[in-house]
Chains A and B, each alone.
Chain A
Amino acid sequence: MSEPFLVGENLTGGYGSADILHGCTIAVDKGEIAVIVGPNGAGKSTAMKALFGMLVLRKGGVRLEGRSIDELSPSQRVMNGMGFVPQTSNVFPSMTVEENLEMGAFIRRDDCNDTMTEVFDLFPILKEKRKQPAGQLSGGQRQQVAVGRALMTRPKALMLDEPTAGVSPIVMDELFDRIIEVAAMGIPILMVEQNARQALAIADHGYVLVQGRNAFSGSGAALLADDEVRKSFLGG
């Protein structure tokens, strides 16, 4: 079996002296959607930060396309093709939608208009609102700006930290549809989600984290079918 596109293996570490992650392993391959779910405080977002180099790891490491990227800073990881959408403050509020996308493409020296057209095709509402400051948009639209901004670098892998936090169920379904479309473009997607049931339904791979450890992992459908997972995390 060849190595997945992005792997965080045996991740162990935390913010201070106490570890939050205890040897969890997360991987995502091309064209796949991997979802991290789990109870509050399980270290979901922390695992995401670890993959993106925003956390000092005591053990374990991260590999992108088979190469170790442990030495790279977060912005160097962006240069190497990783895109990250943080959970909160993920847009430039006083700048217009168009400027937000331009800033997403800041590291690119070439013409980014094609990518912007692609993003507008994916999120038509953004084209309509492109002259509006991002801070004035609704929560769902802002999340679209955030994802669009990350897509502007043409990332080789996209990481989303709770993309549907605080949006209505209808908007959530809509966002998930868009995320599936992005994955279909061949970009591996790794996301952390609170809405475990819906997220696992679209996931090729699911990871259930408990206290910084992999409690269960498998295909999304398998996890949804697993009695124990259902009982403990999905509310029966």
Chain B
Amino acid sequence: MDWLNALIVLANFVVVPALTYGSQLALGALGVTLVYGILRFSNFAHGDTMAFGTMATILATWALQSLGMSFGALPTALLALPFGIIGTALYLLATDRLIYRFYRRQRAKPIVLVIVSAGVMFFTNGLVRFIIGPGDRNFADGERFIVTAREFKEMTGLSEGLAIKTTQGITVLTAIVVVALLFWFLNRTRTGKSLRAYSDNEDLALLSGIDPERVVIVTWLIVAALATIAGTLYGLDKTFKPFIYFQLLLPLFAAAVIGGLGNPLGAIVGGFIVAFAEVTVTYAWKKVLGYTLPDDIVPSGLVQLLSTDYKVAVSFSILVLVLLFRPTGLFRGQSL
């Protein structure tokens, strides 16, 4: 029974949260890796793009709620997602038209585009706080839990409970659907293949008659959808605060680099690696050890390797280690 209880504690505090967080990071890192692979620069504005998308979704959610609409047991924000995606797509296309296109025509070096994206990042960051304010916004409604800890205990008779929040279930399911759609698009459709061709060999893509401007537009549309969905899921699961999204940039890039920049499959795996690393390192293991170790050697401390305040250090360490020992990432993406 002790082992079972230990597993439940582990699932409740490590596996379920890390799977959820990992799905959110994977969707975000996919956006980073697509921009890197196809548009050929590291998009520092991606975290704030996620914030913009979430903000647009929240505004749409409020509008729907004021019309008296809701999604039953599910959060209204899911209904508002398409509006959020459209808003973000328009915003990204506008930044491309007004800013990135100019540098693309100049055939600017990738590092120049990185600096440009940092500018877009600061602007977006300010714009989002200007529109919705810098504070916390909780916009999750509907049923809070799929299974509560108490229900779980009653069902199983165990002394530990496993709670699964609605938002956690939604996050994982949505991530699976979105990733499946993305891979179908990239591997099965003509337009998707032309994106991969452009990413593989830009000059040959031009020689094959692939229109680069169209590739760029389609890429931004996909990135808008991925960023808005990732941001909204993160905001539903935790809370929406513009500055938190800005800080997501580091784990996002860590995830994309671990998997190999430009490799979509790598971004997904990287997202889960970063999430599990962050959660396991910042989790207090006392309870799990209490169930599994003999009583006389159970440590008296919390057995928390790192305070949650320092969780960013985890992504940073992973990033440094990967860049030192395997700069192309696990799945052999482009080297930085």
Contacts and interface: CB of A to CB of B under 8 A. Distances in A.
B131 interface: no
Q: Which secondary structure dominates chain B's binding surface?
A: helix
B197 A103 contact: yes
A177 to B, nearest CB: 25
A100 to B, nearest CB: 8
Interface string A66-83: 000000001100110000
Contact of A99 (B193, B203, B209, B210): B193
Nearest to B211: A75
A108 to B, nearest CB: 9
A176 interface: no
A95 interface: yes
Contacts of B209: 75, 78-79, 106-107, 153
A149 interface: yes
B201 interface: yes
Nearest to A90: B204
B200 interface: yes
Contacts of A106: 190, 194, 197, 208-210
Contact of B194 (A86, A90, A103, A149): A103
A103 B208 CA distance: 7
A91 to B, nearest CB: 7
A94 interface: yes
A98 B260 CA distance: 25
A232 B193 CA distance: 48
Contact of B196 (A89, A94, A104): A94
A146 to B, nearest CB: 9
Contacts of A9: none
B200 A92 contact: yes
A102 interface: yes
A107 B190 CA distance: 11
B200 A95 contact: yes
A149 B208 contact: yes
B200 A107 contact: no
B208 A91 contact: no
Contacts of A94: 196, 200
B206 A75 contact: yes
A89 B203 contact: yes
Chain A interface: which size bin? Answer: 20 to 34
B324 interface: no
* Residue among B194, B201, B210 with the highest chain A CB neighbour number at 10 A: B201
A93 B210 CA distance: 17
Contact of A74 (B197, B200, B206): B206
A156 to B, nearest CB: 15
B200 A86 contact: no
Nearest to B209: A107
B207 interface: yes
Nearest to A105: B208
A93 B201 contact: yes
A89 B205 CA distance: 11
Interface string B32-76: 000000000000000000000000000000000000000000000
A5 interface: no
A107 B196 CA distance: 16
Contacts of A86: 203-204, 207
A71 to B, nearest CB: 17
Contact of B208 (A89, A93, A107): A107
Nearest to A149: B208
A93 B212 CA distance: 19
Nearest to B210: A106
B193 A89 contact: no
Given A89-B201, A89-B203, A95 B208 contact: no
Nearest to B263: A94
A93 B209 CA distance: 18
A103 B193 contact: yes
Nearest to B202: A89
B207 A95 contact: no
B205 A103 contact: yes
B196 A92 contact: yes
A84 B207 contact: yes
A84 B203 CA distance: 11
B193 A74 contact: no
A78 B204 contact: no
B135 to A, nearest CB: 45
A93 B201 CA distance: 8
A74 B207 contact: yes
A79 B211 CA distance: 12
* Residue among B193, B197, B200 with the highest chain A CB neighbour number at 10 A: B200
A78 B193 contact: no
Given A78-B209, A99-B193, 5 more contacts: A86-B203, A95-B197, A99-B196, A106-B197, A107-B209
Interface of B: 190, 193-194, 196-197, 200-201, 203-210
Interface of A: 74-75, 78-79, 84, 86, 89-95, 99, 102-104, 106-107, 149, 153
Closest 7 CB pairs of A and B: A107-B209, A92-B200, A103-B197, A106-B208, A92-B197, A103-B208, A78-B209
